[in-house]
Amino acid sequence: MQQVLLKIIENKPLTENVYKMTLSGDVSDIETPDQFVNIKLDGLYLRRPISVCDCEGDLLTIIYKVVGKGTEMMSKMSEGTLDVLTGLGNGYNTALSGDRPLLLGGGVGVPPLYMLAKYLIAEGKQVSVVLGFNTKDEVFYEEEFKKLGANVTVTTVDGSYGTKGFVTDAMGDDYTYFFTCGPEPMLKAIYKKSETSGQFSFEERMGCGFGACMGCSCKTITGYKRICKDGPVIEKEEILWED
Ligand SMILES: Cc1cc2nc3c(=O)[nH]c(=O)nc-3n(C[C@H](O)[C@H](O)[C@H](O)COP(=O)(O)OP(=O)(O)OC[C@H]3O[C@@H](n4cnc5c(N)ncnc54)[C@H](O)[C@@H]3O)c2cc1C
Ligand code: FES
């Protein structure tokens, strides 16, 4: 983990309430897809965790949805620097993917899958991606995934764009392994429907964000794990769902 000051290069809306921010600086601590950063905002005690969407050279891209005070403040920033903890979390393990991995993202669970797709395609894998949203106006990053060379399907719950339904309605069965990130009901549905092993990324509420407070612990078959330090990625076989 590193604490760095990153310069805001760009901050623009992708949809009505989802923004893409590009930051520049020392991001050398970010090594694996689906690690996250933890952002300090003036006047807020707790940092705000956001997944790494992309990291290349000294540029970091994050995508965030405005849901409260912190993300609202972020959406209004056009210049300056942010105090950021980088290199947090375990990230996805691409070594387990097989030849034809399937990536399933829902809403703001989509961004970390972008860097994952990039890594898997660079490793020569045939990557399929299912991006799930509620409605057409919420869709983002379809073209970006296509440009990487992924086979992309978009689903919308109301059928206003792409395949009508949930990501599970477009999963098919032609995949060797899966990776997923999104809201918990989606993760549970994928857990039930999937026929292979896979990795789930959890966006638990956090305190410290680096393993010190146990505020994010969850029960697995091998005991309690801290989502911020031992996760956010947990393998299918380890998960114990608690209702
Ligand atoms: C590892 C990790 C990665 C994340 N990656 C992303 C991402 O790439 N893009 C993105 O938009 N969001 C992501 N989140 C969620 C993001 O951290 C929260 O939306 C954000 O902290 C809310 O801050 P706020 O001050 O705007 O809202 P607050 O005023 O703190 O909260 C407003 C609402 O957001 C919910 N919320 C607050 N914290 C979290 C949280 N940690 N997880 C889920 N919901 C929360 C609250 O329940 C509440 O309904 C991630 C969370 C984690 C733990
Ligand atoms: S948030 Fe403190 S241990 Fe995870």
Q: Is 46 in the pocket of ligand 2 (CB under 6 A)?
A: no
Q: Is 67 in the pocket of ligand 2 (CB under 6 A)?
A: no
Q: Is 67 in the pocket of ligand 1 (CB under 6 A)?
A: yes
pLDDT of residue 204: 81
Cα 170 to averaged position of ligand 2 atoms, centre (Å): 34
Compute the CA torsion angle 121, 2, 106, 64 (nearest 10 deg). -120
pLDDT of 243 strictly over 90:
no
pLDDT of residue 95: 97
pLDDT of 168 strictly over 80:
yes
Ligand nearest to the CA of 46: 1
- pTM reported for the whole predicted model: 0.95
Atom of ligand 1 nearest to the CA of 88: 1
Ligand nearest to the CA of 105: 1
pLDDT of residue 218: 86
For residue 242, what pLDDT band results from cuts at 50, 70 and 90?
confident
Q: Whose CA is nearest to atom 8 of ligand 1?
A: 51
Residues 221-239, mean pLDDT to the nearest whole number:
93
DSSP secondary structure letters along the chain: -EEEEEEEEEEEESSSSEEEEEEES--TT--STT-EEEEE-TT-SS-EEEE--EEETTEEEEEEE--SHHHHHHHT--SSEEEEEEEES----GGG--SSEEEEEEGGGSHHHHHHHHHHHHTT---EEEEEESSGGG--SHHHHHHHT-EEEEEETTSSSSEES-GGGG--S--SEEEEES-HHHHHHHHHH--S-EEEE-----SSSSSSS-TTEEEETTEEEETTTT-SEEEGGGB----
pLDDT, one tens digit per residue, over 1-43 is 999 999 999 999 999 999 999 999 999 999 999 999 999 999 9
Q: Is 184 in the pocket of ligand 1 (CB under 6 A)?
A: no
Q: Whose CA is nearest to atom 23 of ligand 1?
A: 70
Give me the chain's average pLDDT, please. Answer: 96
pLDDT, one tens digit per residue, over 125-156 is 999 999 999 999 999 999 999 999 999 999 99
pLDDT, one tens digit per residue, over 87-107 is 999 999 999 999 999 999 999
Atom of ligand 2 nearest to the CA of 229: 4
